[in-house]
Amino acid sequence: MSSLRDAHDFEQPCPIRDVLDRIGDQWSLLVLSTLESGTFRFNTLLREIGDISKQMLSRTLKQLEQDGFVTRTVYAEVPPRVEYTLTDLGRSFLQPMQHLVAWADENHRTIVDARAHYRASR
Amino acid sequence: MSSLRDAHDFEQPCPIRDVLDRIGDQWSLLVLSTLESGTFRFNTLLREIGDISKQMLSRTLKQLEQDGFVTRTVYAEVPPRVEYTLTDLGRSFLQPMQHLVAWADENHRTIVDARAHYRASR
DNA sequence: CGGTATCCTTATCGATACTG
DNA sequence: CAGTATCGATAAGGATACCG
């Protein structure tokens, strides 16, 4: 296993950078966590998330599909039905993310306080 | 502890979003992991990381300082000496990140393969 | 229904010159 | 030495009209 520091390698594709690109964007993580509770159609997902535009949902799902986090299934019906669900990879990815969420919950106050203190000391 | 999904709350500052903003950018995580091995001066950090501009290093360090991940110490000397080091918060943050790095290492091949497969199926 | 294309705005990144 | 200011390039995000 490489450390965070070792991951800084310019000569070849970097695992942690690929992962960060996927969670660093605005919507990927939210889409993944929404899909955690089951299979969704496009417009259902749109309503479920609420404040995402169909443009961004479309882009995000396509990326997640490309990287193997999400499966897209098209049913040959009229009107068309398309369903999205997590792959094993997508599901397994949410495990390490739980650690991060837990950390964020535990330490958010410290961060907020640090910001307030910083501003106060200007 | 809130789930990823619960963290999607538009009405108030979101812990996980604050954290993602910090790791989603280009340099924060790399700076933090570099500082893991000790205390560094500005220009040393610049050389150590190698491909970061002083502009970006400056901005990144300031953000990390604001959020309480990093301590900035100025020594009243000529020429000036400024040292950066991790706070307890900064150090503790790297713990959950190790899970993510481990996951990235284990699953990077699957992601790369998924991308290749996706492109092949166009 | 499930998208894509278009266009626009904003945020991020980066090089470089300059400063205390 | 340790930055900040300025400027330009590029990418990300978003509203909306259109399409199969």
Which of B5, B10, B18 is facing A33, going by the closest CB pair?
B5
CB within 8 A of B97, min separation 6: which ones?
A4, A100, B23, B29
How is chain B split into domains, by residue range?
A: 9-120
Question: CA–C1' distance B111–D10 (Å)?
Answer: 26
Residue A117 CB neighbour total at 10 angstroms: 11
So what's the pLDDT on residue A1? Answer: 46
CATH class of B9-120: mainly alpha
Protein residue at shortest CA distance from C1' of D14: A53
pLDDT digits (tens, 9 = 90+) for A49-94: 988 999 999 999 999 999 999 999 999 998 999 999 999 999 999 9
- Chain B hits for A60, Cβ within 8 Å: none
> Is the Cβ–Cβ distance between B104 and B58 less than 8 Å?
no
Mean pLDDT of chain A: 90
**CA atoms within 13 A of residue A111's CA, in its CB half-sphere:** 23
Question: CA–C1' distance A25–C10 (Å)?
Answer: 15
The answer to whether the CB atoms of B97 and A49 lie below 8 A apart is no
Name residues 99-118 of chain A within 8 A of B (Cβ): 99-105, 107-108, 110-115, 117-118
So what's the pLDDT on residue B15? Answer: 86
Is any atom of nucleic acid chain C found less than 7 Å from the CB of residue B26?
Answer: yes
Q: How far apart are CA A77 and CA B5, in angstroms?
A: 31
Report the relative pairing of strands B40-41 and A70-75 from DSSP bridges. unpaired
pLDDT in tens, chain B (122 residues): 456 666 555 455 688 888 988 888 889 999 999 999 999 999 999 999 988 999 999 999 999 999 999 999 999 998 999 999 999 999 999 999 999 999 999 999 999 999 999 989 87
